[in-house]
Amino acid sequence: MIFKIETLKEYNDIFIERIISSDLFLPIDDITLDALHNNRIESLREIVENSDNHDYSYYSDLYFLQHSPLTPSFLFSSPLSESSIPYLYPYSKTSFISSFYPDVFPSLLNHVFTYMKETGRMIHIGQGAGKALILYPVLFSDSDFESLLPTSYSEIVSSTVNVVSMITQQQADISYLIKKNAELTAKIQELTNLNNDIQRMREQEYLTTWR
């Protein structure tokens, strides 16, 4: 099981080269975009699952005959669109993990997938686990590697201690403010009672004067 990666080559071999070397992807073209737009994902999955019988052009021609005219294409934005040809994986993220990364720890997967989404290498289509993924299999660079290196446990512990300290300080401040609020409330009540007493005394004096 892979739970830690220490070199740039390992990141590329595991997370990019596995994609490049696979035949489980489709091109992004008018056919696949139309299928995504009109929720005909099963048609795309049939193409992948029957690729041994016919090539992609056979199924794309068949799709066109069945569903033309096609919906005008819509694009998925990525900063890598000018430097890489995108791949379409017409299955859920769960299936993607099962097919390509069954040997990688979830924490490492989440860390790398988050970075791939942030850099435009991965676009998730659909809610939840989704119905498809668009991938730009661009190799990670040295600068990517710096970002991909996980935070050490010592840094996590240190950060946790700092957070706990801040929370403790805030709780102390909150307790102080609650105490001060109670004191002010009591003082206001005391002044209100005093004012009421003075008012009653004045009323008594007024009545006494007119008797």
Q: SS3 of 124, please?
A: strand
pTM of the model: 0.69
Do 30 and 68 meet the contact criterion of CB atoms below 8 Å apart?
no
Write down the H helix ranges in the chain: 8-12, 18-20, 30-37, 41-49, 56-67, 93-100, 106-118, 142-148, 153-209
List beta partners, residue 132: 125
Extract the tokens encoding 81. 């669109």
The string over 38-47, giving b where at least 16 C-beta atoms fall within 10 Å of a residue's C-beta and e elsewhere, is eebbebbbeb
- pLDDT mean by block of 10 residues, the chain; 211 residues: 92 97 94 93 95 93 94 78 92 96 93 96 90 96 91 48 61 67 82 82 68 57
pLDDT recorded at residue 19: 96
Extract the tokens encoding 9. 């080559």
Chain centroid to CA 72: 29
41/149 Cα distance (integer angstroms): 35
pLDDT recorded at residue 152: 46
pLDDT recorded at residue 154: 41
Do 18 and 100 meet the contact criterion of CB atoms below 8 Å apart?
yes
